[in-house]
Structure 1
Amino acid sequence: MSLFGAMTTAISGINAQSRSLGHISDNLANSQTTGFKRIDSNFTDLVTQSSSNGHSPGSVIARPDFTNTVQGTVEQSENPLGLAIGGQGFFSVAQSRGTAGGLPLFDERQFYTRAGDFRMDRDGYLVNGSNYFLQGWPVNGEGVVDRTTLAPVRVSQEVFNPIATSVIEMSANLPALDPPATPADAKTYSTQVQIYDQVGNRNPVTVTFAQMTDGTPRGWNMTITPNPVLGGVDVPVIFGTNGTIESFNGVTGLANTAVDFPFEMDFGLGNQPITLNLGRFGVAQGITQYAGRDFSLRNLSQNGVPPGGYSGLAVRDNGDIVVNYDNGQSRTVARVPLVSFSDADKLQRLDGQGFMRTVESGEAQVTDVASNGVGKLVVGALEKSNVDIGTEFTKLIVAQRAYTANTKLVTAADEMLQDTINMKR
């Protein structure tokens, strides 16, 4: 029994070392594969019979020992959409199972990966080199993140719709001058702002301040041209002795309340309501009147936006996917979360560095990059394979020698059995 047992044990050793060689070959073949996690070998002894009086040869098996939680080297990439995870966690991805109407149909199962070599395909989806589609939380037009839904991220390259100007903010200083002796002595200062109508056309609007000629100290008349449909002609502005607005349009406002002037313009598309903000009553903000030689404009801005064409895509450190436009605007369309597991080494491995949840791995925990405490997102980078070639060659030598030793044991057992058989002769 011992000779046969020894031979059986040696054969199990050959099989175990063969599996170990398979793991090593898989590791070496994928040493340059983005996001690949190496497979080590866990040798386990199987005992047939063992006591204080005797021990019979057992066997050995080699089980895979996964390293899904072992970090690979993070390297910078020329791909601006490349993503790497520093620490634990996975990207949530989807897999296509066909097409309909020229667009992919997605498998209902959830998949995960560490391979962040994403690029934008012709349909606007972010896809990695193994054709897994990056999933994220949708973000609506108001910037609100919907954390209840994970969906493949699709980027639209449509034009950014124009936004009509609705607010103008002005900050300037009118010089503190004495009331004009005659109307001819009155000072007038003007500034122009470009505002946008409902279709994105730019239209110049001029705001003019003229000294009052009725002897009112620190008094100015404000005029908006071209003449608005409603309001904007000779609006009185009176400053206090402290240089801040005391009265506007005949109203003495409460301290620290906004000085807003609503008016309407018509650029051929119907009335467009606009509010001109000149600061606050009694506060050195917006329009002031302090000593100086001339009109000093500090700020003149408006909230209108012209139409914009798609100019690029960017990912921020918090996982926001942002579309940039050539009008200087940007829009967040999705946010990439990270997914963690109680035991990530128990995930089911799939083709293309993909994983699926198993009972042993635990439930997927989808969390925000900024607050998950699991890992951080590294933008413009890729996580390389966690395989170390030098270590794998060392394991290869050991496995080769162990395999050879087991074959020698089979040969020795065979010769001893042959000697036993020859005893009959």
Structure 2
Amino acid sequence: MSFNVGLSGLNAANTALNVTGNNIANSATTGFKSSRAEFGDVYANSLFLGSAKNGVGSGVTTEQISQQFNQGTITNTGASLDMAINGNGFFMTSDNGARVYTRAGAFGTDKSGNIVDANNNQLMGYGVDTDGKVVQGVLIPLKVDTSALAPKPSDSLSETMNLNSSAVAPSVTPFDAKDTNTYNYSFSTDIYDSQGNSHSLSQYFVKDNTNQWTMYATVDGVNPHDPTSTVPYTATLNFSSAGVLGTTSVGTPTVGAGFTQAANGKFTLTDWVPAAKNAAGVMAANGSAPADGGLVMNMTATTSYNTSSAVTAKDQNGYATGSLTTLSIDGEGNMFGTYSNGKSKTIGQVVLANFANVQGLTPNGNTGWRESASSGVPVVGAPQSGTMGTLNAGALEESNVDLTAELVNLIKAQSNYQANAKTISTQSTIMQTIIQMT
């Protein structure tokens, strides 16, 4: 019996103890992947097959320490920038330009708004263009932009409504917005100018005869072309006997500029931003403006049926400025910012990387890995694309260490160590006996 055999066994048992101890130590480390020591027996090489046919082995050697990339348990945290990968893939981070891959998705922001991990590595992903569309193929460090969302002036308003065909013409004339007895139905819509100021577009409807209605429109209670005028914008709506909107036309009062008809049921407000009163009480421009081309009012879906007058759908595309209030991430990695004005937009997309041989990745420490010649080059893509897993936002992937199994492995490694130590002790006793005999 050779001392080398027992010594190799001690080294192997010590390696197993180290691997098991490291697994146990990281059983609570987010995104940690357990390792396994793999051993192989050793035989002396010989040029003569006959001498090695029934040869005794020369001990054991550590062939490799392989990492087990099986899925860890996903636990919800509620934090908006915590992310867990359910399936294949790694987060891509940048360590001063060097790529580091990790399964630990505990991210936050630095003072500049960059999304970083605890080691200040920046999370990589796809950016967006000016229209808020993800630009795939170009990787950039992801960032949470906390600047205010620029306002958008209203240039489109779509309305779906019904005007009660059984209504009778008001008994009180002429029309007066302050007197509800002079009109049959009214409602208001918030619209926005170039500075994000909100204005109230009010529409009043008066039944003229069997199939004809007159619409009166004001912005902030006045005719915006001339706020001193008492005459609002007007339009005539004619309906067929089936209650479908037919021909329409705009009125021509003394003050009517800025309100035109583009087509039947479509009207354009080109000068709808009212002037404001200055300190002297004189009407003066407030510096804001309507959208280029004005505000197009689409009323083609208006009907006149024998049912209550009501607006059933309404949509306008303007909004005021807003500040970022919440951040959310979907299963495909799209990051959405929600703003105080109720609007939301895509601000980036998290990407994942995968490798042909994940066992070939080089451990980097801090629950990260680096690419190596054995791993192959990374395949980068969005979550849920190709072989990439799904992204779970507001959650973290726990260590995949099976603590019960590791404690069993610890006992086995300890027994192995003691047994190999016994072989060396026995060999020493035999050697001493032989020496004494001589």
Q: Same fold (TM over 0.5)?
A: yes
Match of 1:70 in 2: 70
CA contact (8 A) 2:184 2:205 kept: yes
Select which of 110, 118, 122 maps to 2:107: 118
Work out the number of aligned pairs and report it.
393
- 1:137-176 map, 5 Å: 137-176=126-165
Match of 1:223 in 2: 216
CA contact (8 A) 2:247 2:265 kept: no
In 2 relative to 1, CA 167–357 (structure 1 residues): closer, same or farther, beyond 3 Å? same
CA contact (8 A) 1:177 1:218 kept: no
CA contact (8 A) 2:351 2:381 kept: yes
In 2 relative to 1, CA 10–388 (structure 1 residues): closer, same or farther, beyond 3 Å? same
Alpha-carbon distance in structure 1 between the residues aligned to 2:396 and 2:172: 72
In 2 relative to 1, CA 14–178 (structure 1 residues): closer, same or farther, beyond 3 Å? closer
CA contact (8 A) 1:195 1:202 kept: yes
Alpha-carbon distance in structure 2 between the residues aligned to 1:363 and 1:116: 22
Match of 2:198 in 1: 202
2:392 matched to 1:378?
yes
Shift of 1:211: 3.5
Alpha-carbon distance in structure 2 between the residues aligned to 1:179 and 1:49: 110
Which TM-score applies when normalising by structure 2?
A: 0.83
Alpha-carbon distance in structure 1 between the residues aligned to 2:101 and 2:68: 11
Match of 1:287 in 2: 302
CA contact (8 A) 2:169 2:206 kept: no
Matched letter for residue 274 of structure 1 = L
Uncovered stretches (5+) of structure 1, i.e. residues with no partner: 96-105, 251-256, 280-285
Alpha-carbon distance in structure 1 between the residues aligned to 2:87 and 2:406: 23
In 2 relative to 1, CA 331–418 (structure 1 residues): closer, same or farther, beyond 3 Å? same
In 2 relative to 1, CA 411–187 (structure 1 residues): closer, same or farther, beyond 3 Å? closer
- 1:2-401 map, 5 Å: 3=1, 6-49=2-45, 53=51, 54-95=54-95, 106-107=96-97, 109-177=98-166, 184=173, 187-212=183-208, 217-225=210-218, 226-229=222-225, 233-249=233-249, 259-264=265-270, 265-267=272-274, 268=285, 269=287, 271-272=289-290, 273-279=294-300, 286-292=301-307, 295-401=309-415
Matched letter for residue 410 of structure 2 = L
Match of 2:425 in 1: 411
Matched letter for residue 204 of structure 1 = S
SS of residue in 2 equivalent to 1:149: strand
Match of 1:99 in 2: none
In 2 relative to 1, CA 178–78 (structure 1 residues): closer, same or farther, beyond 3 Å? closer
CA contact (8 A) 2:247 2:264 kept: no
SS of residue in 2 equivalent to 1:23: helix
Uncovered stretches (5+) of structure 2, i.e. residues with no partner: 175-181, 251-262, 275-284
Alpha-carbon distance in structure 2 between the residues aligned to 1:314 and 1:174: 41
Alpha-carbon distance in structure 2 between the residues aligned to 1:412 and 1:374: 55
More divergent stretch after superposition (181-190 vs 342-351):
181-190
In 2 relative to 1, CA 76–181 (structure 1 residues): closer, same or farther, beyond 3 Å? closer
Alpha-carbon distance in structure 2 between the residues aligned to 1:343 and 1:379: 27
Match of 2:178 in 1: none
Match of 1:253 in 2: none
Pairwise CA RMSD: 2.5
SS of residue in 1 equivalent to 2:138: coil
Alpha-carbon distance in structure 1 between the residues aligned to 2:288 and 2:195: 12
CA contact (8 A) 2:41 2:57 kept: no
SS of residue in 2 equivalent to 1:249: strand
Which TM-score applies when normalising by structure 1?
A: 0.85
Q: Percent identity?
A: 28
In 2 relative to 1, CA 232–337 (structure 1 residues): closer, same or farther, beyond 3 Å? farther
CA contact (8 A) 1:49 1:58 kept: no
SS of residue in 2 equivalent to 1:155: coil
Residue by residue, what CA displacement relative to the aligned partner does 1:207-255 show, whole Å, maximum 9, x if unpaired? 222334xx6x4122223223244998332221111111111228xxxxx
Alpha-carbon distance in structure 2 between the residues aligned to 1:370 and 1:261: 45
In 2 relative to 1, CA 181–27 (structure 1 residues): closer, same or farther, beyond 3 Å? closer
In 2 relative to 1, CA 356–421 (structure 1 residues): closer, same or farther, beyond 3 Å? same
Shift of 1:39: 0.9
